[in-house]
Every structure is written in C-alpha cells, then in structure tokens.
C-alpha cells in the first residue's frame, strides 16, 4: 500500500513540475518553445484520429489522468468536480497558474483530434467556474474559447 501511495505522489509531482509531457500527450497544430520535439498536428493526423475510435479513446485516457490531477472528472462527455471548487482542491484556480495554459492546450488538442464535444464541455465548465473566481483572467478565458476555433 505504501508503495502505491509513494508512486501516486511521485506521479502527481511529475505532472506538476515536468513541462514537456503535455506537448506529447496533447499535441496541437502549432509548435512550442518548451519542447521542440513535440509533434505538431497536421490535417492528416486529424483525419486519422477522426476515423479511429481507438486513438480517440487513448487520447481520453490521457485526459482522464490530467483531469484527476486537476481535481476534475469526466463521465462520457460531461466534465465536473466532486470536490469543492477552490485552489486547494484545484491547483489551476490559483492566480496565473501554468495549468491554465495546459488546459488551453488540452482543449485545443481534443478539438483537433476528434473529441470536439468533450473539448467544448471542458471549455464550458472552465468558463463557468472562472465566473466564480477572480484568479482566472479574461485573457485566459479568451484563450480557452479560441482553442475551439478552426
């Protein structure tokens, strides 16, 4: 039991402090200065994902891992939190938190790679929550909205 808890703790620390994995798990259609080796989504990639339920489901498994880290959950295409919404339970609710940028990338990647309804629902959930907290800027909300374009 102790080994499992230690492993989970190490994983959560890695998710918070390593900034390269997100570009690999959630590729988008533009490059990043943080990981020059990260894949860039092409039209061909989009078509391939659109035609493969298996690929879309693998993408959603990565999403579920990060949602758990962010204090969120997914049931089908519904995004929600069982925990009270606050910065203690949801690290991304802190002022200028880098996880807000990660959420933008996740929304964009889901949108590009065939999980559009989940991308829209995640975006809507985040915007709804942002209305309750001053820690999320209007600029961040606009990034989330823009991630659904194109």
pLDDT per residue as tens digits for the range 84-97: 999 988 889 998 88
DSSP output for 135-148: TS-HHHHHHHHHTT
Note the pTM of the prediction, 2 decimals: 0.87
User: What is the per-residue pLDDT for 19?
Assistant: 58
Q: Which residues pair with 79 in a beta bridge?
A: 74
Rounded to an integer, what distance in angstroms lies between the CA atom of residue 103 and that of residue 110? 11
pLDDT per residue as tens digits for the range 64-81: 989 998 999 999 999 999
């Amino acid at each position: 039991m102790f080994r499992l808890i230690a492993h989970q703790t190490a994983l959560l620390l890695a998710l918070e402090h390593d900034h390269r994995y997100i570009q690999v798990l959630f590729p988008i259609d533009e490059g990043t200065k943080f990981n020059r080796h990260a894949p860039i989504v092409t039209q061909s990639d989009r078509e391939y994902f659109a035609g493969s339920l298996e690929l879309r489901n693998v993408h959603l498994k990565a999403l579920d891992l990060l949602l758990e880290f962010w204090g969120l959950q997914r049931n089908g295409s519904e995004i929600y939190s069982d925990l009270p919404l606050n910065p203690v339970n949801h690290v991304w609710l802190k002022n200028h938190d880098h996880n807000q940028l990660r959420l933008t990338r996740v929304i964009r990647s889901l949108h590009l790679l065939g999980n559009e309804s989940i991308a829209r629902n995640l975006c809507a959930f985040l915007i709804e929550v942002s209305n309750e907290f001053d820690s999320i800027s209007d600029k961040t909300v606009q990034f989330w909205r823009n991630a659904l374009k194109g």
